Structure 1
Amino acid sequence: MHTSAGLPRTAPQAVLFDRDGTIVVDVPYNGDPSLVRPMPGAREVLDGLRSRGIPVGVVTNQSGIARGYVTREQVDAVNARVEDLLGPFAVWEVCPHGADDGCRCRKPGPGMVLSASERLGLDPAEVAVIGDIGADMGAAAAAGARGVLVPTDITLDEEIRDAPAVARDLAEAVESLWAGTP
């Protein structure tokens, strides 16, 4: 497989995942760790990447903090439960802002992907982002990272149409990142 520039595609050096709807079942504004449920196959996919020495991270918008629906402490407790169920992540990036706050971190902005890449010592072009909505793909593109969309029931048709790559599930998404690489 080649990129649009005709250059061979290289395997990513890290994979960042959206949280809600991608690695765990989406519970809107979840502040209760007992409600965390992994998406099918998530643990196996993450463990497979870890076993290959590929760092995994999370980039997640949590506007419920700005809206007063959940506290940062509740979000941190949910994230800790995600780690309990899915294993350790090399990096977590959480945007606590609302859509109108004008921050640089909120997806589809590039901030969290850029920060995670920097924290991992990587160029964003060496990183892939897997998510379930267009904002995840927008963040990847804005940062210069590769994006793979894994649609769910809430993914819009135009988000699927506009995605750089689409996979049926997390396993296919990860496999696609290594397809055609040397």
Structure 2
Amino acid sequence: MAKFYDSLDQKLTEFIGEQKIYFTGTAAKDGRVNVSPKGMDSFRVLNDKQVAWLNLTGSGNETAAHLKEVNRITVMFCAFEGKPLILRLYGTAQTIHRQDADWDKYYNLFPADEGARNIFVMDIDSVQTSCGFGVPLMDYQEDRTILPDWTAKIGADGVKEYWEKKNVTSIDGLPTGIFDQ
């Protein structure tokens, strides 16, 4: 049975820290709904009502574009190992880009990565847990190194070129704000 909470407690914070993958979900007024898997060491609980994650360079920048238009987001964690549980965080988020004043404040919470594109800081409106009985058991092997290896190989200039080609607008043509001042 699903249960709702106003904030994260210690048990749920520990659960988040144990997970190797999470999913973000956003949507603009029109167009596609985006659900994006995230991994690596990229998620932080800031307090019981706020979380942040480092968004690395990828083929799209949908979350940033969607949040500019409709500021709502869901983050979901599933237990693929151990006791079953699904945890959803509902709320709004701020997109922080490299050129923003708060970049260093939050970027310093994460391992350095040449491909760091944005940071999302989410204010939690509500927290939901559910059973997770239908989620399969899976064994974690390791993080893939393909993305950090690629961004290290192409360097800062190559990453910026990639952003200019692939990350200025969403797949539905919405601006992402990646280079806005």
TM-score normalised over the length of structure 1: 0.28
* Higher RCO (CA < 8 A, seq sep 6+): 2
Larger % of strand: which?
2
TM-score normalised over the length of structure 2: 0.28
Larger % of helix: which?
1
Which is greater in Rg?
2
